[in-house]
Amino acid sequence: MAEISIARVGAYRSAQSAFVLCTITLLSAVFLQKIALPGTGGIYPLNLLIFPAVTIAAFVTGILEVNTAAFIWYAFFALVGSFSAALSSSSHVSVLSLGFLVVAQFPLVFRCVQPGGSYRRVINLLSTVGCISALIGVLQFVGQFVVGVDTAFFLDTRLPASMTVTGYNSLIPLYWSSPVYKSNGFFFLEPSFFCQFLAIAVVAELLLGPRALRLLILIAGLVCSYSGTGLTMLALFLPFYFIHHGHSRLIVFVILVGVALILFGDALHLDAFTRRLSELSDVQSSGWARFLSMFTVLQNVVFANDLTAFLGRGPGTVQEQFRLLSFNAFDPTWGKVIYEYGLLGSLVYFRFFYLAFCKGPKGLRFAVGYTYLFLGGYLLNASVLMQLAALVVWLGKTSPATLRPGDGAAERKGGPFATYPDMPALEAR
């Protein structure tokens, strides 16, 4: 009996440590993503140091263990990347980019030794952080009319350039020449990053059993971001969620919110959303660039040559042709992998990604995975990779010897859109 009690205490402490690790990682990913590593002139983010440092510390203290299968494919991908760099004919090839990738992706080869009940707590944390971020974003959007743009967007306008990460569009007007700016949630690199994070938080809240007030806060934040990227993920997720769960009151809630947005559309400048619905047919639009341009780039550049089709153009080369194109182009994660590392490299990478990411809990897997692969060029983005680790990868399946009988039971009952049976849904709150 005493041995069982000691084992339970040990398991509780391990699960508590796993939750603390995920909390630190998630908070750093959200609130430090704009801060640059000192001495790098804004080129490298501070999280590029924090992410591997926290991972190594957690491994040394026994919180994390190596996912052996994922590590083997990770090492194989690094080897393929080296061959791609050595054999590339591009003048833009960058060994530094490959090194950046190796460092940024390294923490994904680990997982928690004993996640225990951490997953549910992490989802609740994500919902809470999402609501706090949404409130900050709403205050920032309204604040620009009260205290001015410079104060409302303090991190973007007042901090020295060397202290913040460069290369991002933090200040984006609602439309060309508009004096009103989209909210970026104060701490996020761009409005699109803000929107994508809030969309994932909406999924987290739905998985917990949706609370009307929290959903309203998150929706308000999404509106103030005036970005459509996260909404594309929700457009794919929500129909399956409603079919699977059939929350009648939640459907009514969504309809009421939709009616309110229609009625107050002019006041809220919702035409900034609606005018973008036709972007997929305009080769000069950001929507076409984000979702479709890479297919044309791959066909015309990578697949035009047998060697580049096999090994890619080499690390750091994905944007080498962009300025020569007659259309706007964008490099989403999936496209960057294929362009730079070819069919061989992409097969190896996506095998590594499957073993690391797809072994994680199902609940947030679609939302986080779709955001990472399709909504941005996040292969080297430490802040987004930290979200992958804290929300999915580190909470993945451990070996049978360390998995307790109750772990993951709630998720196994509900499939990919599971909620937790001990958490009441909207009707009960």
pLDDT, mean of residues 307-332: 83
At 122, list the tokens. 């992490």
pLDDT band for 276, please (50, 70, 90 cuts): low
pLDDT, mean of residues 360-388: 95
Q: Share the mean pLDDT of the chain.
A: 84
Q: What's the pLDDT at 131?
A: 98
Q: What's the pLDDT at 249?
A: 60
pTM: 0.86
Q: Maximum CA pair distance of the chain?
A: 73
Check residues 417 and 129 and name the one with the higher pLDDT: 129
Beta bridge partners of 173: 181
Dihedrals phi, psi of 366, to nearest 5 degrees: -65, -50
Whole-number Å distance between alpha carbons of 78 and 241: 38
28: left (phi over 0), alpha (psi -120 to 50) or beta: alpha
pLDDT, mean of residues 263-267: 51
Whole-number Å distance between alpha carbons of 414 and 408: 10
Could you give the 3-state DSSP secondary structure of residue 181?
Answer: strand
Q: What's the pLDDT at 284?
A: 55
Q: Which helix (H) or strand (E) holds 65?
A: strand 64-66
Q: Which helix (H) or strand (E) holds 352?
A: helix 333-357
pLDDT at 398 over 80: no
Would you say 196 and 375 are in contact if contact means Cβ atoms under 8 Å apart?
yes
Which of the residue ranges 244-248, 299-303, 350-354 has the most confident prediction, judged by mean pLDDT?
A: 350-354
* Structural domain spans, the chain: 2-276+346-428
pLDDT at 420 over 70: no
Per-residue pLDDT tens digits for 32-84: 999 999 999 899 999 999 999 999 999 999 999 999 999 999 999 999 999 99
Q: Lowest mean pLDDT: which of 11-25, 210-224, 276-290, 371-385?
A: 276-290
pLDDT, mean of residues 376-389: 96
pLDDT at 158 over 50: yes
Comparing C-alpha atoms, which of 340, 344, 327 is closest to residue 298?
A: 340
pLDDT, mean of residues 291-303: 86
Q: What's the pLDDT at 191?
A: 96
* Long-range CB pairs of 170-178, under 8 A, 24+ apart, other chains included: 170/34, 174/226, 174/269, 174/272, 175/272, 175/275
Would you say 130 and 197 are in contact if contact means Cβ atoms under 8 Å apart?
yes
Q: What's the pLDDT at 269?
A: 55
Question: In angstroms, what CA-CA distances link 147 with 139, 154, 221, 255?
Answer: 11, 11, 19, 35
